[in-house]
């Protein structure tokens, strides 16, 4: 049985009175049923740790891995392993892959900040070469692909071919969908390893691993699939299972090159550590049930959220006297030009300060970013939201801006 969306749907969540969540894109929203299952599993884990961690968990993880494999249309569930977060998945790959001095890693300027920090560590520790492609916002898919192709070609011509390309399928701030499928194809055509950061993808955008065939892909469940935190996954093509390890190294360590014939090698390596957060990961079962039975399916969720995001974003822009960016691929996140005209030498710090004051004063968090000379607000729609929530958020923001 599915229920009517809107503010009445808040009863399935755990929001304190007066808090309006327009920032689902950062930390998601945990339904009450998911939180309750996680607590039940934590109790089982605490009271029967040996049985739970040594025996019970494996069949349960396998069940969930099969469901995830079906959801993302993976070629083999053994190419999927659960991790704490997408950053733990990213670090497991990047920090364990045997890079050599001078190896070239290509990325876009819209990369997620912590991912960039991992690349900077690789540069400082292993002397790899980082090449950044600058992209503006708003932008076009053609611009992304063209710059990617030209940079790969120029690197090859210079005798410094690109080894790996890091691709954000949906950027963090502002939040928009990139032409990730076309970029992965460019990687394949040029013998470049593709690593897609899909932190926002699962539940927000339908995709098929079988179709676009990335070498590596990672994603979260808490953002758009109502999963617990922490709960994420790594997909790795079979040929890379012997070339990466879990970070930190744990009981699932296999020497490099060992285990080529073991179809469960990736799972053995990474999920040995996942048992530290087993209750959180296993509570994902309640998330699947919530989506299917309470929400009526992910398609119904996205239909509501996309429509509300479009209407809500336009309403905010109207109140602010600005514009909503008309991104080509519509999702539950929209980006609205924020009416910030305050002079400052540090626009990033100002954006952070504004968001903090809005939340402290009105209990509404509106993430703000400064890109290309413009401030943008990234606004998320969700099944518990209504248009009036967007109006309240817009007015709360103006109230704070006018006080500067």
The Cβ of residue 375 has, within 10 Å, a number of other Cβ atoms equal to: 20
Which stretch of DSSP H or E encloses residue 315? helix 298-320
Distance CA 336, CA 60 (A): 42
Q: The dihedral of CA 383, 203, 65, 86: what is its sign?
A: negative
Q: Which of 168, 187, 26 is nearest to 110 (CA)?
A: 168
Query: 287: buried, middle or exposed (CB in 10 Å: 19+, 13-18, 0-12)?
Result: buried
Spatial contact of 59 and 271, defined as CB atoms under 8 Å apart: no
| H-only helix segments in 332-404 | 347-362, 387-401
Distance CA 170, CA 387 (A): 24
- Find the angle CA(18)-CA(23)-CA(27) to the nearest 5 degrees: 105
Strand intervals (E) in 28-108:
80-83, 104-108
Spatial contact of 355 and 331, defined as CB atoms under 8 Å apart: no
Per-residue pLDDT of the chain (404 residues; tens, 9 = 90+): 679 999 999 999 999 998 999 999 999 999 999 999 999 999 998 899 888 888 888 899 999 999 999 999 999 999 999 999 999 999 999 999 999 999 999 999 999 999 999 999 999 999 999 999 999 999 999 999 999 999 999 999 999 999 999 999 999 999 999 999 999 999 999 999 999 999 999 999 999 999 999 999 999 999 999 999 989 999 999 999 999 999 999 889 999 999 999 999 999 999 876 556 688 999 999 999 999 999 999 999 999 999 999 999 999 999 999 999 999 999 999 999 999 999 999 999 999 999 999 999 999 999 999 999 999 999 999 999 999 999 999 999 999 999 88
Domains of the chain: 7-29+297-401 (3.90.1150.10), 35-289 (3.40.640.10)
The answer to whether the pTM exceeds 0.85 is yes
């Amino acid at each position: 049985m599915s229920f009517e969306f809107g503010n009445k749907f808040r009863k399935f969540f755990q929001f304190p009175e007066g808090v309006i969540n327009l920032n689902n894109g950062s930390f998601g929203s945990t339904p009450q049923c998911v939180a309750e299952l996680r607590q039940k599993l934590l109790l089982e884990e605490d009271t029967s740790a040996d049985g739970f961690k040594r025996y019970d968990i494996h069949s349960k993880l396998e069940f969930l891995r099969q469901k995830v494999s079906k959801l993302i249309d993976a070629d083999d569930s053994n190419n999927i392993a659960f991790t704490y977060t997408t950053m733990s998945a990213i670090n497991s790959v990047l920090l364990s892959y045997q890079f050599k001095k001078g190896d070239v890693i290509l990325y876009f300027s819209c990369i997620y900040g912590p991912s960039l920090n991992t690349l900077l560590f690789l540069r400082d520790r292993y002397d790899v070469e980082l090449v950044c492609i600058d992209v503006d916002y708003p932008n076009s898919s053609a611009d992304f692909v063209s710059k990617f192709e030209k940079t790969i070609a120029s690197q090859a011509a210079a005798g410094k071919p690109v080894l790996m390309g890091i691709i954000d399928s949906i950027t963090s701030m502002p939040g928009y969908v990139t032409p990730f499928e076309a970029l992965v194809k460019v990687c394949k055509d040029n013998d470049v390893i593709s690593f897609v950061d899909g932190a926002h993808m699962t539940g927000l955008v339908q995709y098929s691993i079988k179709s676009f065939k990335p070498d590596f892909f990672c994603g979260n469940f808490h953002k758009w699939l109502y999963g617990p935190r922490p709960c994420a996954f790594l997909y790795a093509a079979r040929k890379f299972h012997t070339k990466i390890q879990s970070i930190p190294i744990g009981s699932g360590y296999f020497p490099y090159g060992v285990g080529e014939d073991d179809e469960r090698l990736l799972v053995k390596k990474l999920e040995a550590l996942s048992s530290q957060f087993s209750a959180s990961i296993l509570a994902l079962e309640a998330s699947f049930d919530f989506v299917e039975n309470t929400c009526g399916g992910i398609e119904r969720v996205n239909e509501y959220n996309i429509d509300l995001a479009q209407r809500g974003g336009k309403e905010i822009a109207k109140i602010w006297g600005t514009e909503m960016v008309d991104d080509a691929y519509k999702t539950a996140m929209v980006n609205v030009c924020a009416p910030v005209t305050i002079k400052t030498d540090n626009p990033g710090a100002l954006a952070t300060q504004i968001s903090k004051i809005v939340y402290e004063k009105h209990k509404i968090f509106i993430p703000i970013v400064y890109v290309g000379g413009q401030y943008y607000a990234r606004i998320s729609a969700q099944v518990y939201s209504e248009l009036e929530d967007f109006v309240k958020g817009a007015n709360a923001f103006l109230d704070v801006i006018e006080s500067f």
